[in-house]
Homo-oligomer: A and B are copies of this chain.
């Protein structure tokens, strides 16, 4: 292992710590209310040092979102490797994971309104590639589940895809958690039920 490689490892570890802090703060306060000072304090380094690693606040958030997408893609690949489960079960597994991350306070959320951040995200190849690959796989599963009779065939696949994506920023889990009447597992089950069965009584 060369010295350069070692230095790069140290760099990688530090940047991982930074991204972890950003991820937490994004989940907690959102992009606009998260300050770079807070990130630096949370990581335990000076703000100027932070800017040696990432050139802007937007870059910090982008890095966190890229990591989220990488994790998502890894989970999708993992589900894709399971040949014994239906497409719908895979989709449910992904949705369940997203809800669990959301409930644990680790789902970074970025306002789709913020133009500066949106521009940087849309210019990031790693982010876009991951989103597209994930969307392609999920899209195929949706079509398969419709063929299996597990998803309403009258729904356009993109509607199904967006509805699943939206669970990652669903405000309902936080409301239910704030109410204090249900465990995280119960909340996940309740939201999955409303997502798949809807509010209507089973006919």
The interface-forming segment of A37-45, A54-62, A123-131, A164-172 is A164-172
Question: Among the listed B162, B195, B201, which residue makes an inter-chain contact with A152, where contact means beta carbons less than 8 Å apart?
Answer: B201
> When the two chains form their complex, are residues A194 and B33 in contact, meaning their CB atoms are under 8 A apart?
no
Q: Which residues of B contact A190 (CB under 8 A)?
A: 155-156, 159
Q: Give the docked Cα–Cα distance between A146 and B199 (Å).
A: 10
Q: Is A30 an interface residue (CB 8 A)?
A: yes
Beta-carbon nearest neighbor of A32 in chain B: B32
Residue from the set A150, A179, A197 with the largest chain B CB neighbour count within 10 Å: A197
B201 A163 Cβ-Cβ under 8 A: no
Query: Scoring A residues 178 to 190 as 1 if CB is less than 8 Å from chain B, else 0, what string do you get?
Result: 0101000000001
Please report the C-alpha to C-alpha distance between residue A32 and residue B32 in the assembled complex, in whole angstroms. Answer: 7
Known interface pairs A111-B30, A203-B203. Does A172 touch B159 (Cβ–Cβ under 8 Å)?
A: yes
- Known A-B contacts A197-B152, A198-B198, A199-B195; the reply to A166 vs B159 at CB < 8 A is no
Q: In chain A, residues 19-59, which have Cβ atoms closer than 8 Å to a Cβ of chain B?
A: 28-30, 32-33
A106 CB to closest chain B CB (Å) equals 15
With contacts A151-B199, A196-B199 taken as known, whether A171 is within 8 angstroms of B32 at the C-beta atoms is: no
Residue contact B195 to A113, C-beta cutoff 8 Å: no
A200 and B152 form a contact (CB under 8 A): yes
Contact B149 A201 (CB under 8 A): yes
Q: Which of A154, A172, A193, A198 has the most CB of B within 10 A?
A: A198
Taking a contact as CB atoms under 8 Å apart, the answer to whether A202 and B203 are in contact is yes
Given A33-B113, A196-B199, 7 other A-B residues pairs in contact with their CB atoms under 8 A:
A112-B174, A150-B201, A151-B201, A155-B194, A160-B194, A163-B194, A196-B198
Identify the A interface with B (CB < 8 A). 28-30, 32-33, 111-114, 146, 149-156, 158-160, 162-166, 169-172, 174-176, 179, 181, 190, 193-203
